[in-house]
Structure 1
C-alpha cells in the first residue's frame, strides 16, 4: 500500500519507511446544519480500533523505531495524552516495549479513560508530577540512554510525525481534485506539539493548495524560558522536515515555506481546562453527531465556527483530530490494582 506523498515523489518511497496502520483517506463531510460554509476532515476515523491524528504519525514513527533496531520506546505526555494511548496500542501490536513519562493535567472522564487504556495496553507508566519534571526526566534519559532506547518527543512531533501530515495534505489535494470539497479558504487544526500544523502547512505548499492554515494553540507556549508551542517552533519543524525531504529527493521543487497563523485566543485557562467557547462548540457539534474533547478539538472547532460566521463567503475546513472509536469497554478491562499507586488516585478522583 502506498501513500499520496510517495506518489508525488516516488524517490521517497524506498527511503522513508512507513507502516500502513491507518485507514486512509479519511472522509470529508460537509456540515450545513452547523454552517453552510463548513467542512470537516474526519481524522477521527484513521483506524477502527483507535483513531485520531496520532495514527497518521505512528505510520512513520513506528516504522522508524523498527528500522533503528532499538529495543524500547520512550515518550512523554500528560496523564490523559491521546498520543500515549495511540502509541501504547500500536507499539504493543509491533511488540515494542513502551515507557510513558507522564505529568499532571486537570481530571476529566476522558483523562481517566486514557490512563486506563495506556495501562491496559502494557505501557510502563512513569508519573513525574509536573510538566517540568517529566520533561527533565525525558531529556536526561535521552542523553544517558539514547543509544539503546528510542526517545520520541511528546505528541510524536518529530520529522517523521511531520511527514505524516505532509502526506495528509497530498491526500487532501486528491480529494479536492476529485470534487469531494472545494479548495478551502481556511483550514483549522489544533496545535499542541506542532507537527500537525507544520506538516499540513508544508504539504499544502508542496501540493499547490492555496488555503490559509490556521493553528489554534491548545498547549503551553513555553516551558520556562524554552518555547514549545509558538510560531517559531512550528516553523522550525516545518523547515527541518522540508530539508529532510530535499536531501532525499533533490528533485523536489524549490519552495518558499508557506505562511500560516497560530492563534492564542481560544487557549482559555490552560492546557486541559475546558473553555466556555469550547463547551459551546461541543454542543453545536453534537448536532452533527461528532464528539469533541475539551483539551484540543473543542477549542479548535469553536475557532472554525466563529470563522464561518465572520466570513460567510469563505470556505472553512475543520481538521478533526479526535478519536471516535468506542474504547470504553477496553478501558473497563484495565487491572487498576497493578497500576502505579501514584496514578490510581487520578482514576478514583471525580472528573471536573
Structure 2
C-alpha cells in the first residue's frame, strides 16, 4: 500500500492541504485482451484492472474514498451517510472501507430491478454493519437524511456515487498513474478510454487527469444512469469544480476549463432503465468472461464494454482501453451466511421470488 498518491508527488504543495488516506492497492494492473481481440477479430484492446483496487473490496470507488473518507475522519465524524440503488456498489464500498477507519455507514437506498448481484450486495451491506434505510423517491431521501443529521449530529454526507470534486481527485490521480504505466512501456497510450458513466465523478477526474498528464486519449463515458444524472453538462461542471479545488491549493495547476462539448458521452447503451440488463450488455459480459475470465456487472461495466465492443466491431482503430470500475473480490460466501430475514422488513420484499438475472 503506497504512502502517498501520485497527485502529491506531481504537485507536492497539495500534501497536508488535501485530505487523503491509503485504502487501495495501487497501481492497478493493465492487461492486454489478446484472446478477446483474436476471437472477435477486432483491434488491440486493453483493460485497466481497477476491479483489483483492494483485496477487501475493489472497483472505482476505492480511489474516491481515499479522499472523501479521509475528509470525514479529519472532521471528526462518526457516520458516513450515502445513497444508491439497493444493489449499489458505491454503497457497499463505502460501508466496507468506512469500517476500516472506525466510521459507520448509513445507506439510503432506492428500489431498482432485482438481480442476484443486487440481492448479494444488500446482504453484504448488512453483513458489514451498515444501517439500511429505504427511500422511494428523492423527497423521501431528503427528509430521511435530515432526520439522520438531526438525531445523530456527527454525520458526513457523501452524495450519490461519491461524486464530489474531492472524490474525483481519485481519478485525477488515476490518470497520472496510467501515464506512468505508459512511460514504463506497460501499455501503449490508448486512442480512446471507455468507462461507465454514472454520477460522473470518475469521468470528470479522468478528464482533468488526462490534461495534467499530457495524454491525448479521448475519454468516453457510456451512460448507465438516467440522462438527468449522467450527462455532458454535469461532467463538465464537476471537472471545473475539480480544477478549482486543485488551484485553490496549488499555483502549479494550469488554467483548465471544460465545456459540455469537451465531454464525450455514448447514450445508446442505457436500455429501458437503470439496472435493467440489455441483450448487448449480457452478450458483452459473457464474451469477456469466456475469453479473459473477467467478470462484469450488468448495471454498469457490461453496458460500457458493450459500447467499446460495438465500436471495435465497426472497424475502429486501437488501442482502446476499458477502465474496469467493477469489483472482482468474491464475497458471495459472506452473503450466503446472511439471512435475508435479518434485514429491515422493507428490504425483505426484494428477496421474494426469483431475481431476473
TM interval, short-chain normalised: over 0.9
8 Å contact kept, 2:235–2:263? no
- Match of residue 273 from structure 1: 276
Q: Does the C-alpha gap of structure 1 residues 186 and 134 become closer, same or farther in structure 2, counting only changes over 3 Å?
A: farther
1:308-340 deviation line (CA, Å, top 9, x unaligned): 222442310000011011101111222433310
Structure 1 residue 145, shift from structure 2 partner: 7.5
Among 282, 287, 298, the residue aligned to 1:284: 287
Aligned residue among 273, 279, 304 for 1:300? 304
Query: How far is the alpha carbon of 1:344 from its aligned partner?
Result: 1.1
| CA distance in structure 2 between the aligned counterparts of 1:171 and 1:137, rounded to whole angstroms | 40
Aligned length: 346
1:1-352 aligned at under 5 Å gives the runs: 1-35=3-37, 36-130=43-137, 132-137=138-143, 140=146, 148-222=154-228, 228-257=229-258, 259-286=262-289, 287-352=291-356
Q: Provide the rounded CA distance (Å) in 2 between the counterparts of 1:152 and 1:199.
A: 17
How far apart are the structure 2 equivalents of 1:348 and 1:93? Answer: 33
Secondary structure of the residue aligned to 1:34 is helix
C-alpha distance in 1 between matches for 2:270 and 2:341: 36
Deviations 1:32-62 (Å, cap 9, x if unpaired)? 2222410000000001111111111111111
Instruction: Report the Cα distance in structure 2 between the residues aligned to 1:321 and 1:251, rounded to whole angstroms.
Output: 30
Report the CA distance between 1:143 and its aligned residue.
8.1
How far off its partner does 1:14 sit? 1.6
CA deviation after TM superposition for structure 1 residue 141, in Å: 5.2
Relative to structure 1, is the Cα distance of residues 192 and 135 closer, same or farther in structure 2, using a 3 angstrom cutoff? farther
246-255 or 55-64, larger mean C-alpha shift: 246-255
TM-score by length of 1: 0.94
Is the Cα contact below 8 Å between 1:57 and 1:162 reproduced in 2? Answer: yes
SS in 1 for 2:190: coil
Aligned position for 1:225: none
CA contact (8 A) 1:6 1:12 kept: yes
- In the TM superposition, structure 1's runs of 4+ consecutive aligned residues that sit over 4 Å from their partners are 138-147
Displacement of 1:129 in angstroms is: 2.6
Q: Distance in 1 between the 2:47 and 2:202 partners?
A: 15
The question of whether the paired residues in 1 share the 8 Å contact of 2:240 and 2:256 is answered with: no
1:144 is displaced (CA, Å) by 5.8
Q: Which ranges in structure 1 are unaligned for 5 or more consecutive residues?
A: 223-227
* Pair 1:207–1:97, CA change in 2 (3 A): same
Deviation string 1:124-152 (CA, Å, 9 cap, x unpaired) is: 0001234x345433664588689742111
- SS of 2:106's equivalent in the other structure is strand
Equivalent residue for 2:40? none
Contact 1:142-1:151 within 8 A present in 2 as well: no
**Structure 1 pair 235/139, CA: closer, same or farther in 2 (3 Å)?**
farther
* Aligned equivalents of 2:25, 2:298: Cα separation in 1: 25
Q: Deviations over 1:252-289 (max 9, x none)?
A: 12234382301111001110000111011012101110
Contact 1:188 1:213 in 2 (8 A): yes
